[in-house]
């Protein structure tokens, strides 16, 4: 609970800055410092950090939006770094679907990362992923072979993207794919807040014998910019118990096995 306190405090400032920036196009050092009750030096450091990440551009007295428009996705992921309890419960359930000897693919994301953390008692797994954080956390596990797809490192996200990654996935067939998503909608299908990873995800649903979607309740009944597959492409959904009854019903009607934890 308090284990994320300092991270979130800093993160919260960055989110506030980006939200304000997104609304007004420009923010002041002084103004933000007062609003968040920290020194101007701290806000300057925050601005520099966000500029380094390419999300804004410094100007005298404040900052303006960068021409590269990643604001929406940035906010999306920065905010969603919460709901850890749900994600961990989902991860434990997901890990139970994995048998010794399986070849599995982990999509990128915090939930799939949590699944990777639950594999300590598994044996002889082959894990493939395009998420460097997942590869790193499994690096020292004695009986898991980890394969990283290769590709262009996506600025600030620790994942590999582009045609190298996509071609790799095209030649791949694993037992289980653990898929994540930004938004799930009964009629629109499953979508993501950015295009680059979307291309990868749409290939993933054809790269495994069983496609397992992991997503906490906050992702449902939403639509994000880039659709990558239909609900019917999924074999199983693992989510938490705060998902609405009607939503669960309509998913079950699509022929998807659903587990709420």
The CB-of-253 to DNA minimum distance in angstroms stands at: 43
In 3D, which of 144, 104, 139 has the Cα closest to residue 122? 144
Q: Are 226 and 196 in contact (CB under 8 A)?
A: no
Residue ranges in 118-157 that form contacts with a copy of itself under rule CB under 8 A: 132, 135-136, 138-140, 142, 145-153, 155-156
Tell me if 52 contacts a copy of itself by CB under 8 A.
Answer: yes
The CB-of-3 to DNA minimum distance in angstroms stands at: 5
Could you give the CA distance from residue 92 to residue 84 in angstroms, rounded to a whole number?
Answer: 12
Could you give the CA distance from residue 53 to residue 32 in angstroms, rounded to a whole number?
Answer: 19
Could you give the CA distance from residue 144 to residue 86 in angstroms, rounded to a whole number?
Answer: 26
The CB-of-6 to DNA minimum distance in angstroms stands at: 4
Could you give the CA distance from residue 130 to residue 192 in angstroms, rounded to a whole number?
Answer: 16
The CB-of-104 to DNA minimum distance in angstroms stands at: 26
Could you give the CA distance from residue 256 to residue 49 in angstroms, rounded to a whole number?
Answer: 43
Residue ranges in 57-116 that form contacts with DNA under rule CB under 7 A: 58-62
Tell me if 7 contacts DNA by CB under 7 A.
Answer: yes
Tell me if 121 contacts DNA by CB under 7 A.
Answer: no
Q: How many residues bind DNA (CB under 7 A)?
A: 25
Residue 131 vs residues 8, 28, 116, 135, 156: alpha-carbon distances, Å: 23, 36, 11, 6, 12
Among 44, 77, 185, 210, binds DNA (CB under 7 A): 44
Tell me if 139 contacts DNA by CB under 7 A.
Answer: no
Interface positions with DNA (CB under 7 A): 2-3, 5-7, 9-10, 13, 28-30, 37-42, 44-45, 48, 58-62
């Amino acid at each position: 609970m308090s284990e994320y306190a300092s991270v979130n405090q800093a993160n919260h400032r960055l989110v506030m800055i980006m939200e304000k920036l997104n609304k007004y196009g420009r923010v002041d050092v002084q103004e933000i410092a007062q609003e968040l009750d920290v020194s101007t030096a701290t806000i300057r450091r925050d601005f520099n950090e966000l500029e380094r990440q390419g999300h804004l551009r410094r100007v005298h007295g404040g900052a303006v939006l960068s021409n590269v428009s990643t604001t929406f996705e940035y906010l999306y992921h920065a905010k969603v770094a919460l709901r850890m309890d749900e994600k961990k419960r989902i991860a434990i359930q997901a890990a139970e679907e994995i048998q010794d000897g399986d070849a599995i693919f982990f999509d990128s994301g915090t939930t799939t990362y949590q699944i990777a953390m639950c594999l300590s008692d598994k044996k002889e797994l082959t894990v493939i992923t395009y998420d460097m954080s997942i590869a790193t956390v499994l690096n020292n596990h004695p009986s898991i072979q980890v394969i990283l797809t290769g590709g262009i490192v996506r600025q600030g996200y620790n994942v590999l993207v582009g045609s190298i990654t996509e071609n790799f996935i095209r030649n791949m067939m694993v037992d289980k794919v653990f898929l994540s998503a930004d938004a799930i909608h009964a009629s629109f299908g499953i979508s993501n807040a950015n295009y680059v990873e979307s291309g990868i995800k749409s290939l993933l649903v054809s790269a495994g014998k069983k496609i397992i979607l992991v997503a906490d309740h906050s992702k449902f009944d939403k639509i994000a910019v880039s659709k990558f597959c239909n609900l019917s492409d999924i074999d199983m959904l693992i989510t938490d118990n705060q998902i609405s009854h009607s939503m669960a019903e309509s998913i079950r009607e699509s022929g998807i096995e659903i587990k709420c934890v």
